[in-house]
Amino acid sequence: MGLRRRPRRRRRRYVLLLLILIAASLLVYLKWPKSPEVSRERTPETEVVRPPGHDPGKIMALLPLSGPLKDEGLAARRGMELAFKDAGIEVSLYYVDWERENILSYVSERSFGVFFVQLPFSEILKIVERRPDAVIIAPTSSHEGLKELSQVFSFVATDGEEGKYVASLVKGTSDDVSSFVIVLEPDGYGSVLYSAFEKAWDSGKAPCRVVKWKGGQDEPCDEIKSVIAGKPRVIWLSGSPQWINQVYSRIMSLGYSGFFLVPSYFDQHMARRVPPGYLNRFIFVRPCVGDPEYHPWNSFFERFKRKFLRAPEWIDSLFYDAATVYASYVKSLRLRKTGPSVTVADFRAFLGRQEYFEGVSGIMRFSQEGRVSGSFHLALFKGGMFVPATNSICESSGLKGCSRESANTSGKDK
């Protein structure tokens, strides 16, 4: 029995010693000064410093890649891809089909801050509202409302500037303006063009004759018939492409044999629908024209045909120019010590520092605010593409001094 009691006493001593050590440790912990609690959030001193803005190499392209406007979206895609390849920079292009997708859900993705778009102005407004911090490049958009949107960058002049151009063209012809008549679609696009035309018109000159016609099922009124009887040289169809398609043939059926001056919104796709017998009476106002004598266009035309086995269209060329300018901006960012980062203000300042840009679609000039102030040109549609109006056509129509050559020279030298 004595041998068994001895180990029991030892175990009691060990337990007592262990309790004393635990009590001592607890006392030290309670009395020892506590270190400050470490926050999971970074303090300003430990925050990694990054330049504000967006990754310039991540681009989302919002384009109509299906449906009736599919050709426009594919043209935009071709122009962008060739431009970035020619510029020698690598970017990540993410395409979203505007016809099939809810684009606002994609726009909300904060990892993208640069958007190339081929969209109606109403859709652009939705993007601006959702992402006021984003750089939105809309190369072909000409809506007057763009002047109020600082983060949207177009590469063509506005509809209002087009109306002013037509006014200057008509005022420069002669003192007699009776040979120039305006047939106006009362609402929408036509009113915007005409309003700018009217403001730019010299109050000392006799006003041009203006006839409003809704088109559609409406029969030509007596005033339209009276206009045709006066045998004007040029009728400016100030209205939407759909409206123009409704009225031009009906005017010609009344015996009209002069020219139609057609707004820039009437593009290649619309021009292809005009029968050849009527097409030779159309003179197009264009923000850019494929010109074999213009070297940048000529070089681009050959490269484009080799890659895509087809001739470029004006959307191809405008998206090419816009992407080329953006690529130059990205290259300038990569030289900065802070690292590349895109902001609306910085991109606009970059454009404002450019004296002019000799693009494949023509010479573009930028204001100090970074807005394009490109000139317009008159063109014909031949061989499936726009070409400069010849001097003989300009003289026959009475619209003198409208050749592309003079416009390009004056645009560069100003």
Q: Where would I find the beta strands (DSSP E) of 42-123?
A: 58-63, 92-97, 114-117
The CATH number covering residue 189 comes to: 3.40.50.2300
Does 197 lie in the same domain as 92?
A: no
Q: Is the dihedral of CA 332, 338, 344, 349 positive or negative?
A: negative
Position 236 scores a pLDDT of 96
Q: What is the pTM of this model?
A: 0.78
Write the Ramachandran bin of 285: left for phi over 0, alpha for psi from -120 to 50, otherwise beta: beta
Does 193 lie in the same domain as 115?
A: no
> β-strand 259-262 against 377-382: which pairing, if any?
unpaired
Does 321 lie in the same domain as 279?
A: no
Does 255 lie in the same domain as 328?
A: no
Position 364 scores a pLDDT of 85
Residues of the chain with confidence (pLDDT) below 70: 1-15, 25-52, 173-176, 203-205, 216-218, 288-294, 337-339, 374, 400-414
Q: Which two tokens stand for residue 343?
A: 């902001």
Does 340 lie in the same domain as 328?
A: yes
Residue 304 lies in a domain: yes
pLDDT per position as a tens digit, 352-372: 998 788 898 888 888 888 888
Does 347 lie in the same domain as 261?
A: no
Closest CA to 193 of 120, 138, 142: 142
Block residue for tokens 């050749």: 403
Structural contact between residues 186 and 218, judged by C-beta atoms closer than 8 angstroms: no
Does 408 lie in the same domain as 275?
A: yes
Please give the DSSP secondary-structure letter assigned to residue 297: H
Structural contact between residues 205 and 152, judged by C-beta atoms closer than 8 angstroms: no
Question: CB under 8 Å to 33, separation ≥6 — which residues?
Answer: none
Closest CA to 72 of 121, 124, 139, 126: 139
pLDDT per position as a tens digit, 66-85: 998 999 999 999 999 999 99
Closest CA to 318 of 369, 247, 267: 267
How many domains is the chain partitioned into structurally? 2
Domain holding 234, by residue range, is: 159-286+376-413
Which residue blocks in 157-309 are alpha helix, DSSP H?
A: 159-171, 189-200, 222-229, 241-252, 268-271, 276-279, 295-308
Residue 17 lies in a domain: no
